Amino acid sequence: MFNFRHAIFPVIISLLAGCHNNNTRPAVTAGDSLSSAPAAAAAKSIDSTHTVPAAEKTKTILFYGNSLTAGYGLSPDQSFPALIGHRLDSLRLPYKSINAGLSGETSAGGLTRIGWVLRQPVNIFVLELGGNDGLRGIPLNSTRDNLQAIIDTVRKKYPSAKIVLAGMQIPPNMGEVYSKQFHDLFPALAKKNNLTLIPFLLRDVGGIPALNQGDGIHPNVAGEKIVTETVWKYLRPLL
C-alpha cells in the first residue's frame, strides 16, 4: 500500500479543518479535500471529449467521480478522461469519453445525481468516488452502501454496461484500522459485483510532489499522464 504519511498528511489535516457536510451534495469550497474547484466546474462536468467517424456506431465510456476525475486545477483537455478520449481517437476506436466528474463529490452526492447522468446510454461506466468520504471520516458502511446503490442503479438502467471501480487509499489520520478498512472496501465491492478493479487510481503519483499540484493531492499535467496509463491498463481489455 502507498504510504501517504509523510507525503500529504499535513496537507490533509489543514484541508479537513474546514470541511463540512451538505444533506444532498457537498458544497464546493476550499475545505473539500478532493475539491476546491469553482461551482462553474459543475456546468461542464458532463462533456464529450472527442468524436469518432460518423460511419461507426459510437459507444460511451462515462467517467463518474470527484475532482480527480474532473481534472481539478487543469484545463479540460488535460484530465485523464480527456486523455483517454484522445487515445481512443488516435486508435480509431468507436468510443467517446464523457467526463462526469464533479469536484467535492462524496458517494452520497454521487448517488443523488446518478439518475440524471444516466439519461444517456452508457457502455462502460468508470466509478471513482469515495475519496472525499474517507478523508472526512464518513462511516464506511455509508460509503459502501452508496457505492453499491450507484452500481445497482447502473446495472438496472443498462444491464449490459461494463463497470470499472477505481480504488483509493487515504492517509492514517483517521486511524490505521479505518484506513485499512477503507482500502479493503473497493476490492470487496469489485469482487461482490464482478467489476473490473483499478486497485489504486493514483498509483505512482500519490504523494510524489513532482507529480502533484501545490495542494499535494491533485495530479499535475505530468501526474495526470501517469493516471491515464493506469486507467488505460484496465480499460483497454474491455473495449
Q: Residue 20's CB: how many other CB atoms inside 10 A?
A: 10
User: Any idea what the Cα angle at residue 21 is, between residues 15 and 23, rounded to 5°?
Assistant: 160
**Side by side, which strands form the sheet with 47-48?**
47-48, 95-99, 59-65, 124-128, 162-166, 196-198
The catalytic site residues sit at 67, 215, 218
Helix, strand, coil tally for the chain in percent (to 5)? 45, 10, 45
- Among all chains, which residue has been given the C-alpha cell 454496461? 161
- Interatomic CA distance for residues 148 and 171, integer angstroms: 24
Cα–Cα distances in angstroms (integers) from residue 167 to residues 20, 23, 80, 195, in the given order: 24, 25, 16, 12
Number of C-alpha atoms within 13 angstroms, CB side, residue 135? 31
Of 151, 189, 192, 141, nearest in space to 64 by CA: 151
Q: Are 167 and 143 in contact (CB under 8 A)?
A: no
**Residue 96 has which C-alpha cell?**
467517446
